[in-house]
Structure 1
């Protein structure tokens, strides 16, 4: 009770969280939230080749100084068709061609996992040709649980 005998008014309720100090609805932020990173086929191809190349370099000392490069298209087709990679042992270089690998690769399921496995398989085949080995000898533990 107050001094004069009247009941005290309850305290006013706070404003809703969506209202500003002048009772109006809040404005949108000036800066929008960051956009998701740009994810293109070229970048996904680079990541897949880079991951497989790093695995092979760590597993095989003969590949530590070999440069894995990505080219767009080969200069010309050979008697076997369009090459997926080119090997230069003198320059210690393997060039993988993105367009033939992506376009001519056969996927039984068109999703990101199978695309990445197809790209990694081509990297393994190119490295196996560079080392004159079977591709399955290069990383038998890598595909054990798939």
Structure 2
């Protein structure tokens, strides 16, 4: 999913082939036997992408809709509130503002599950706004107790 990122400055070829003190090239911090660590940005993107993929499978109207993640653009900040997402019907685009979603959480240590649920609920509410439906209508049967 596209996200505004800083453009890295090109490195010189000499710097790319740097061998520090003759010890060889550096390896990953996690080592060869552990999976690489994921960042909070990657976790946020993965949660939005997974939820959007799930909803696309349920609603064919979402075919061709672009889901984007942005930091917090100035046009999302208003006097009385801050937008967490922006729905553009004419462009078929839903943009999620990561910082307002994550920063307004009041999470304690170790509550990553709650953060994921909040992100998923924001995706559901934004898609419901796009489809002009209630968020509970998006996944019929999903919330039935057996």
Do the two structures share a fold, i.e. TM-score over 0.5? yes
The residue aligned with 1:51 is 50
Conserved 8 A contact 1:58-1:64: no
Pair 1:110–1:79, CA change in 2 (3 A): farther
The 5 A counterparts of 1:99-118 are 99-107=99-107, 111-118=111-118
Number of aligned residue pairs: give it: 115
**Do residues 68 (structure 1) and 76 (structure 2) align?**
no
CA distance in 1, matches of 2:66, 2:131: 14
Q: SS where residue 94 of structure 1 aligns?
A: strand
Q: With CA pairs under 8 Å and 6+ residues apart, which has the higher RCO, 1 or 2?
A: 2
The residue aligned with 1:139 is 139
The residue aligned with 1:3 is none
CA distance in 1, matches of 2:90, 2:101: 24
CA shift for structure 1 position 110? 5.0
Pair 1:69–1:142, CA change in 2 (3 A): farther
CA distance in 2, matches of 1:80, 1:54: 32
CA distance in 2, matches of 1:131, 1:106: 29
Please, which runs of 5 or more residues in structure 1 have no aligned partner? 1-30
**CA RMSD, Structure 1 to Structure 2 (Å):** 2.3
The residue aligned with 1:125 is 125
The residue aligned with 1:78 is 78
Q: TM-score, normalised by structure 1?
A: 0.69
Q: Deviations over 1:40-73 (max 9, x none)?
A: 1100000100000001111001111111100111
CA distance in 2, matches of 1:43, 1:61: 26
The residue aligned with 2:40 is 41
Pair 1:138–1:109, CA change in 2 (3 A): farther
Please, which runs of 5 or more residues in structure 2 have no aligned partner? 1-26
Question: Which has the higher Rg, Structure 1 or Structure 2?
Answer: 1
Pair 1:112–1:50, CA change in 2 (3 A): same
